[in-house]
């Protein structure tokens, strides 16, 4: 069956055909401490984020309160296989949603899928009163959010994130987008979901590698904010079973606190909020060039190491501060190395296409110290010459080999 045909499943057939871990089997025990609560994101008018154990139970009432004429679920095949039946069950007393599936992974965040999603929404009768539920990881949320934002110039949508990355990071931002023409997130819009419903029991089925990659963003924000956030991150990684369920709940709450603190400074992520992109300049290049072999967080991990060395090389970050950064990053044991077939030249070329360019030059977010972003002419972007980046990349490559 062709991928797009496969996607035309109906709610009924999906419920009967899909094996799934039952909610009861995977739900967080009450002792876990985090029960569903609502926080309002500082982004665009305080979008509600309902998170914690039992958050999914709030979804039907939330949808009902918006009185949609029809509900559409956009998801990827893996997520729907694992958790789709449960989602449908929770909605079944009130809604028989249309389901549209794409393939899984970063490679699917592309124009042809955006077109496919928009076509499907129209074919299945979307109206201006309909509502789109994006159900999955960051890829689904980003592309589904963009599709919903384009149809009729903007249909109401909400996010139900299923990965730790999406729950702790993606939903706090109101960026929706796809990769395009050789670069990450090159097409997109700022559009705010009605709400996000983040139930941690979903990410209990994620592989350890993905959880660890998501924790990179947590470390990044701890480095950006410094102080107690940095100390708490060090404490977090000193626990032997770092990625146990209670630890992951702790990570989710800590991450949301961090992101709220940063987002409050700059809700459009245009100036100070840009610092959230720390490590992403080289990170995005690596993620793109690795063609899925490095996950987003893993690529950002290497990107932060390069940015730290660059700041040190430029005399911006003293060695003691670089060591502080490295100490926290080193606690993320098990991040895979950069694939050997990616060359320094390819990274340079890819960084040239980065969306943070200043004129013809490259620009990086660099740290003066843990908790202190380097500012230049009122901007968090520091211009960097090609040869400076080149020599730091070569040094980093040598150290990795």
Ligand X SMILES: NC(=O)c1ccc[n+]([C@@H]2O[C@H](COP(=O)([O-])OP(=O)(O)OC[C@H]3O[C@@H](n4cnc5c(N)ncnc54)[C@H](O)[C@@H]3O)[C@@H](O)[C@H]2O)c1
Catalytically active residues are 175, 277
Looking at the Cβ atoms of 199 and 321, the one nearer to ligand X is: 199
Task: Tell me the closest approach of the beta carbon of residue 209 to ligand X, in angstroms.
Answer: 10
Task: Tell me the closest approach of the beta carbon of residue 321 to ligand X, in angstroms.
Answer: 25
Task: Tell me the closest approach of the beta carbon of residue 21 to ligand X, in angstroms.
Answer: 10
How many other C-beta atoms are found inside a 10 Å radius of the C-beta of residue 216?
26
Residues 45-84 close enough to bind ligand X by CB under 6 A = 76, 78-79, 82
Task: Tell me the closest approach of the beta carbon of residue 80 to ligand X, in angstroms.
Answer: 9
Q: Which long-range contacts (CB under 8 A, 24 or more apart) does 118-123 make?
A: 118/147, 118/150, 118/151, 120/7, 120/8, 121/72, 121/147, 121/148, 121/151, 121/155, 122/151
Distance between CA atoms of 265 and 273, rounded to whole angstroms? 7
Distance between CA atoms of 267 and 106, rounded to whole angstroms? 26
Residues 192-221 close enough to bind ligand X by CB under 6 A = 202-203, 205-206, 210
For strands 196-198 and 71-76, give the pairing: unpaired
**One of 14, 53, 95, 109 touching ligand X (CB under 6 A):** 109
Kindly state the DSSP code that residue 57 receives in the 8-state scheme: G
Distance between CA atoms of 312 and 370, rounded to whole angstroms? 12
Contact 97, 88 (CB under 8 A): yes
Residues 243-262 close enough to bind ligand X by CB under 6 A = none
Q: Which stretch binds ligand X (CB under 6 A): 161-169, 240-248, 321-329, 371-379?
A: 161-169
* DSSP letters for 309-330: HHHHHTTSS-HHHHHHHHHHHH
Measured at CB, which residue is nearest to ligand X?
Answer: 138
Residue 98 is a binding residue for ligand X (CB under 6 A): no
Q: Which stretch binds ligand X (CB under 6 A): 139-147, 230-238, 245-253, 359-367?
A: 139-147
Task: Tell me the closest approach of the beta carbon of residue 354 to ligand X, in angstroms.
Answer: 13
List residues binding ligand X (CB under 6 A): 76, 78-79, 82, 104-106, 109, 136-140, 142, 162-163, 165-166, 169-170, 173, 175, 184-185, 202-203, 205-206, 210, 296
């Amino acid at each position: 069956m062709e991928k797009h045909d496969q996607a035309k499943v109906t709610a009924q057939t999906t419920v009967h055909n899909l094996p799934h871990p039952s909610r009861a089997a995977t739900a967080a025990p009450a002792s876990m401490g985090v029960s569903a609560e609502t926080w309002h994101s500082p982004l665009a008018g305080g979008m509600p984020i309902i998170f914690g154990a039992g958050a999914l139970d709030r979804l039907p009432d939330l949808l009902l309160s918006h009185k949609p004429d029809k509900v559409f679920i956009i998801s990827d095949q893996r997520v729907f296989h694992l958790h789709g039946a449960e989602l449908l069950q929770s909605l079944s007393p009130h809604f028989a949603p249309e389901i549209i599936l794409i393939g899984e992974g970063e490679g699917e965040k592309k124009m042809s899928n955006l077109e496919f999603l928009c076509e499907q929404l129209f074919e299945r009768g979307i109206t201006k009163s309909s509502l789109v539920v994006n159900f999955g990881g960051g890829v689904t949320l980003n592309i589904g959010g963009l599709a919903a934002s384009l149809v009729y110039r903007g249909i109401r949508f909400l996010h139900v994130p299923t990965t730790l990355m999406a729950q702790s990071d993606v939903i706090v931002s109101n960026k929706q987008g796809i990769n395009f023409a050789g670069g990450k997130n090159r097409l997109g819009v700022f559009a705010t979901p009605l709400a996000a419903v983040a139930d941690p029991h979903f990410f209990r089925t994620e592989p350890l590698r993905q959880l660890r990659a998501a924790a990179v963003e947590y470390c990044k924000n701890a480095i950006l904010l410094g102080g107690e956030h940095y100390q708490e991150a060090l404490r977090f990684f000193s626990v032997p079973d770092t990625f146990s369920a209670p630890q992951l709940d702790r990570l989710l709450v800590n991450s949301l606190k961090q992101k709220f603190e940063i987002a409050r400074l700059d809700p459009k992520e245009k100036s100070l909020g840009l610092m959230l992109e720390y490590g992403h300049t080289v990170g995005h290049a690596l993620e793109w060039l690795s063609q899925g072999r490095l996950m987003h967080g893993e690529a950002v991990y290497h990107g932060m190491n390069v940015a730290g060395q660059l700041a040190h090389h430029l005399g911006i970050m003293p060695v003691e501060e670089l060591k502080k950064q490295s100490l926290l990053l080193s606690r993320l044991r098990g991040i895979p190395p950069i694939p050997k077939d990616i060359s320094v030249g390819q990274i340079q070329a890819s960084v040239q296409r980065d969306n943070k360019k200043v004129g013809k030059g490259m620009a990086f977010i660099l740290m003066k110290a843990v908790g202190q972003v380097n500012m230049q002419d009122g901007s968090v972007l520091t211009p960097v010459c090609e040869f400076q980046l080149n020599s730091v990349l070569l040094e980093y490559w040598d150290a990795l080999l």
